[in-house]
């Protein structure tokens, strides 16, 4: 079945970097756009970034633009999120999600991984 498994979360000091991974299985990873969505503890959902099926198009939320980079390796069925210059307010559970829509207008997230917790604290 379709499965997404995030890894790489942990505790990191402000200003440092972290890279998250999302391993995909059960579907043709190279055919789908992918997203990262985060959720601060006890808060709502915040979209972070997207990447097209072939990696040629990427978009970022203003809150992470210039600090985070999304990438993918279709040969390894893996999505990445490189997070630099981390801030306390980046503390959240980070979810990867597949986009079955094929278009950016009308994008939706299905399914989601189980999430990985990133804590930014000194």
Q: Which residues bind another protein (CB under 8 A)?
A: 35, 37, 44-47, 50, 59, 61-62, 95, 101, 104-115
* 82 close to 69: Cβ distance less than 8 angstroms: yes
In the complex, the smallest distance separating the C-beta of residue 79 from another protein, rounded to whole angstroms, is 15
CB of 21 to another protein, least distance (A): 16
Cβ proximity to another protein, 80 vs 95, nearer residue? 95
Nearer to another protein, 56 or 122 (CB): 56
Edge-to-edge strands, sheet with 18-25: 3-7, 18-25, 78-83, 68-73
Q: Whole-angstrom Cα distance, residue 40 to residue 63?
A: 13
- State how far the Cα of 72 lies from the Cα of 75, in Å rounded to an integer: 9
Distances (CA, A) of 121 to 2, 16, 26, 53, 87: 34, 10, 36, 34, 8
> Cβ of residue 108: shortest distance to another protein, in angstroms?
5
Nearer to another protein, 75 or 81 (CB): 81
CB of 93 to another protein, least distance (A): 9
């Amino acid at each position: 079945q379709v499965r997404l498994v995030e890894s790489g979360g942990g505790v990191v000091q402000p200003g440092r970097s972290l890279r998250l991974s999302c391993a995909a299985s059960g579907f043709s990873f190279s055919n789908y756009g992918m997203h990262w969505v985060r959720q601060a503890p006890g808060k709502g959902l915040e979209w972070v970034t997207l990447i097209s099926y072939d990696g040629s198009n990427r978009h970022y939320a203003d809150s992470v633009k210039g600090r985070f980079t999304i990438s993918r390796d279709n040969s390894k069925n893996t999505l990445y999120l490189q997070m630099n210059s981390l801030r306390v307010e980046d503390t959240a559970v980070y979810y990867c999600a597949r986009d079955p829509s094929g278009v950016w207008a009308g994008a939706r997230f299905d399914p989601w991984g189980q999430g990985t917790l990133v804590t930014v604290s000194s």
